[in-house]
Amino acid sequence: MPLPPARTPLAELSPTIALGALDGRYRGAVAPLVDHLSEAALNRARLHVEVEWLLHLVQHEVVPGAPGLSEDERAALRALVVDFDADAIAELRAIEAETVHDVKAVEYFLRGRLTTLLAGSGDGDGAARAEALGQLIHFACTSEDINNTSYALMVQGAVQEVWLPRAQALVGQLASMARELAEVPLLAHTHGQPATPTTMGKELAVLAHRLTRQLRRVEGAAYLGKLNGATGTYGAHVEAVPGADWQRLSRDFVEHLGLTWNPLTTQIESHDWQAELYADIARFNRILHNLATDVWTYISMGYFAQVRGQGTVGSSTMPHKVNPIRFENAEANLEVSNALLDVLASTLVTSRLQRDLTDSSMQRNAGTALGHSLLALDNVSRGLAGLDAVPEAMAADLDANWEVLAEPVQSVMRALAARGVEGMSNPYERLKELTRGRRIGQAELVEFVRGLGLPAQEEERLVALTPATYVGLAPDLVEHLGDA
């Protein structure tokens, strides 16, 4: 068999070709997450925590005799985080190549910047101050003190600034559709069979209500952090400075970062909050998946028409088609997202004894998990925006299924029988004989109702009833959208 011709190695091309879909084909939809959950964002968050811990120690004069920092110097150190850029990323990469330790690289990076800052301050003892204050960078910390708070800040930012606003906007879009279609009657299908009519708005409202409940949980999430040393005992802290209130200093620092203090941990923060958050987002995803499959089905039934003229090609060979690709893409991305969210939630809560490193590799997938969910949100939003309801199609299905009115007829008969009205016995059985396994039309139903011997008022009410008007309180129920 002849050898295949040599091909250009794609991995060697520049600019770099993305391996995954999120950094390639779908980059535009998920790019905002890079600012929160990329490797560069992790190092920036680590730098932020290291700077704030140094400033915290100095501000509270935790180590007696240590030099102080002026307001301008404090601002300059914080500016390292604000101005963190491609040059800083490259420098950190070079340092890590020597240290072979990512957190240590951040520590050395900050120490170098502190030395440069104080040496150029015009202060005659700048070098001495830099040497002394350099000892307070990463003081008494294990790497996990920096990492757990960094990840908490990153995930908090990604959820609150990127994912949550997109999800809220989508649910608002869905709620608006529900209100617009609140009174459009729809033949329901339970077990795939024609069932008691409802309205399209009410059915969309059910999904919006469910999604809103999950958003409330995500909105209320706690983002925990700890800073207590190598095994969570403050051992190094107490030996170094016995007189300090280390628990108070730790709590104040974690809360200063905008996180919730976890007072009791091993070397690692236990990650339970992450598992809780990811489970809530995964549940939101699953409900959104249900929305995607339901809307896809309504499109296939003709209840929604997809707006043409949006520049899309439905089929490469069938010119008439406009495929519901937005909802199908959303399904796939939600499934990928949930696979990752589920493994994150189940794995992160377990660590052997006081520490193992599985969480380090696992947490690096949080951006991918949220990225696929964000991509699904984008697809569903665009898909919904491209729909027009077709009330005529819904009305035609209703008019072809008069047998669904067997339910109200037998219910009226039951109520009359309970009041002692004669001739109303066995209503369920009598309607079953009329309707089960066969279609009936308006004429057959009216004839049946006229022959029941109902009181005149009930008889006329049932004769006037149609599948399209048998929607109960469905239009009013949409107003519960604000109750979630």
Name the residues annotated as catalytic. Answer: 191, 315
* 380-393 core/surface letters (b: 16 or more CB in 10 A; e: else): bbbbbebbebbeeb
d(CA 268, CA 270): 6
Tokens of 321: 């088609």
CA–CA distance, 13 with 465 (Å, rounded to integer)? 70
Helices (H), 220-351: 235-240, 246-256, 272-300, 325-348
B/e letters for 33-42, b = 16+ CB within 10 Å, e = fewer, are bbebbbebbb
Range 277-280, long-range pairs (CB < 8 A, 24+ positions): 277/155, 277/159, 277/218, 277/221, 278/341, 278/342, 278/344, 278/345, 278/366, 278/369, 279/341, 279/345, 280/214, 280/217, 280/218, 280/221
The one-letter amino acid code at 208 reads A
What are 7's two structure tokens?
């091909």
260-261 vs 224-225, strand pairing mode: parallel
Q: What angle do CA 282, 266, 342 make, to 5 degrees?
A: 15
Alpha-carbon span 44 to 36, nearest angstrom = 9
Length of the chain: 484
**Dist. CA 373–CA 25, nearest whole Å:** 15
Query: Which residues are CB-neighbours of 440 under 8 A, at least 6 positions away?
Result: 402, 403, 434
First to last CA, the chain: 66
Q: Coil, helix or strand for 306?
A: strand
List helix spans (H) across 101-219. 102-119, 126-134, 143-157, 164-180, 200-219
Give me the phi and psi of 135, to 5 degrees please.
-70, -15
Q: What are phi and psi of 421, to 5 degrees?
A: -70, 130
367: how many CB neighbours lie within 10 A of its CB? 24
